[in-house]
Amino acid sequence: MKARIRWNRIAVALTAACWVSFLGFAFSAERAPQPGITLPCTVTEVTDGDTVVVQLRLTTSVRLKDCWAKELGSGGEPAKNRLTKLAEGKDATLTIDLSEAKRLGDVFSFGRVIGTLWIEGDCVNRQLVKEGFATKVKP
C-alpha cells in the first residue's frame, strides 16, 4: 500500500511539473521578431559624426539611424572624434530596421545603409545623442 501511495505522489508531482513547464513556455514564448536585418560587423572607418564604414562580408557605408551630427567643416569634428573613439576598429552588430520600409530603397540614404550600430550591447546611435554630439532628428 505504501508503494502505491509513493508512486501516486510521484505521478502527481511529475504531472504538476509538466504543467508548470508547459504554462511557463506558453506564457513566456517570445514574440515574432520585428522585420529587419542584424549583421555582425567591424567598424573600419569613421567618416564623420554620424556615418561609419563597416566590414560585413562586403564593405558598406552606414548612416546611423535617428542620429544627426553636424557636417565636417560646420562644427562636426567633435562628433566624428567621439564616434571614432566609440567605434573604430571594434566588433559591432549592425541592425537594419525594415519594419516601416515599403521597398529596399527606403533603407538607403545617399548610397549608405541606414542602420543602428551596437557595440558591447550599447547603442552607439543613442549614445551620441545622449552625450550631445548629435540630435535624434535632423536639425
CB-CB contact of 96 with 107 (8 Å) = yes
In this prediction, residue 33 carries a pLDDT of 58
Q: Rounded mean pLDDT of 57-70?
A: 90
Beta-strand ranges (E) seen in 2-134 are: 36-48, 51-55, 59-64, 91-97, 108-109, 112-119, 122-123
Q: Per mean pLDDT, which range of 25-29, 42-46, 92-96, 117-121 is the poorest? A: 25-29
In this predicted structure, the answer to whether residue 118 has a pLDDT above a threshold of 80 is: yes
Per-residue CA distances from 139 to 7, 44, 62, 86 (Å): 72, 27, 20, 23
20-63 tens-digit pLDDT: 344 444 444 556 656 778 888 999 999 999 999 998 877 889 99
User: How many residues would you count in the chain?
Assistant: 139
In this prediction, residue 104 carries a pLDDT of 82
pTM beyond 0.75: no
Could you give the 3-state DSSP secondary structure of residue 83? helix
In this predicted structure, the answer to whether residue 81 has a pLDDT above a threshold of 90 is: yes
In this predicted structure, the answer to whether residue 87 has a pLDDT above a threshold of 90 is: yes
